Amino acid sequence: MNKLTVQALQWTGNTLKVLDQRQLPDTCRYDEYSDAAGVAEAIATMRVRGAPAIGIAAAYGVVLSAYRYYPAGEDGWRQCVAADIEVLAKSRPTAVNLFSALDQMKAVLDQPNADPAALSACAEKIHADDIAANYKMGELGADLLAGAKGLLTHCNTGALATGGYGTALGVIRSAYKRQPLPIYADETRPWLQGARLTVWELAQDGIPATLIADSAAAWLMKSGRIDWVIVGADRIAVNGDSANKIGTYSLAVLARQHGVKFMVVAPTTTIDWAIDNGDEIAIEQRHQNELLPACYLSEGSLVSAWNPVFDVTPAALISAIVTERGVILNPSEQGMRQIQ
């Protein structure tokens, strides 16, 4: 197993240390949380982001809640922890991993013999399973990339976005290890996850990376430099429609027009088996101050911003969805059901 060069989350046993990713790459600082409300705040403010990572963080948040309330009367502690689970569930709306992790924690909480140790074991298992899934996906995805001449990725899907190693970036790591090839990263406005996190992570691993403006991706494709776009996902519907960072849909349309293949890499915890297609996915709109220069934020300003931070890529534009349970080529509900 590869050494993890960077960790978004460090569980100390009774606190959760969260790398404040908003300050990368300039400052590498961990904030330490000892209650669920703090973890929810860390997720909402995007100190930690990335669908798998926020699921794991939320799970540890539940453990912190249990530590806090367990000494309370017979059933009171369960109600308090359940209330904290509600708070954690409201921290971000789009990534389903958050809800699936909280569902797992809630199931443990509801068991008759539930205690903090059982919840802690569950959270640590969610974390470990995610890392294991990433390594598995890395190999499966790299298998598809034999002979590729260049790759483009969007946002950050690496160790910083997951339990470790990464989804799309895990595939890129595994592929590069087999055969070095040019890696391009979109800078990914408005948060610049590509510029601040992805190229930084790759450099930590000794992998050279080339940053481009998001709007240069089409011109890069036209130049013939890449033959695959590889992205993560925040929620995948049963038919394969995939929500991911704003700009992913754009890349998928452009890839199809340029004969470039399009890979989505996500653990099965990202699949929402309860929704038929992408129309049912809630798309988070974040505050316009993430885009607008400060001078436009005054009352009565004629300038506003439209800031959806995810979009949905239809399955028809996806060449392959890579999960730890297998690869679905040309995804459809039938293919998706085979890994359920």
Catalytic residues: 234
293 contributes a contact to its own copies by CB under 8 A: yes
Of the pair 32, 279, the CB lying nearest its own copies is at 279
Q: Which of 296, 297, 325, 339 binds its own copies (CB under 8 A)?
A: 296
Contact letters (x/-) for its own copies, 25-64, by CB under 8 A?
A: xx--------------------------------------
Distance CA 27, CA 181 (A): 29
217 contributes a contact to its own copies by CB under 8 A: yes
What residues from 126 to 165 belong to the interface with its own copies (CB under 8 A)?
none
Determine whether 192 is exposed, middle or buried from the number of CB atoms within 10 Å of its CB (0-12, 13-18, 19+): middle
Smallest distance, its own copies to C-beta of residue 206, A: 7
Smallest distance, its own copies to C-beta of residue 27, A: 10
Among 29-37, 91-99, 137-145, 290-298, the segment contacting its own copies (CB under 8 A): 290-298
254 contributes a contact to its own copies by CB under 8 A: yes
13 contributes a contact to its own copies by CB under 8 A: no
Smallest distance, its own copies to C-beta of residue 117, A: 42
Pairing of strands 228-231, 242-245: unpaired
234 contributes a contact to its own copies by CB under 8 A: no
Long-range CB pairs of 273-279 (<8 Å, 24+ gap) are 273/238, 273/340, 275/235, 275/237, 275/238, 276/237, 276/238, 276/239, 276/333, 277/237, 277/238, 277/239, 277/241, 278/237, 278/239, 278/241, 278/242, 278/243, 278/312, 278/313, 278/314, 279/241, 279/312
Between the alpha carbon of residue 102 and those of residues 178, 229, 247, 268, the distances in Å are 36, 31, 28, 15
302 contributes a contact to its own copies by CB under 8 A: yes
For residue 159, give both structure tokens: 């160790």
Contact letters (x/-) for its own copies, 182-211, by CB under 8 A?
A: --x-xxxxx----xx--xx-xx--xxxxxx
Distance CA 220, CA 222 (A): 5
10 contributes a contact to its own copies by CB under 8 A: no
214 contributes a contact to its own copies by CB under 8 A: yes
DSSP state of 158: B
Smallest distance, its own copies to C-beta of residue 336, A: 22
For residue 149, give both structure tokens: 């001449």
Residue among 12, 69, 9, 67 at smallest CA distance from 39: 9
Binding site for its own copies (CB under 8 A): 25-26, 184, 186-190, 195-196, 199-200, 202-203, 206-220, 222, 246-247, 249-251, 253-254, 257, 288, 291-293, 295-296, 301-308, 311
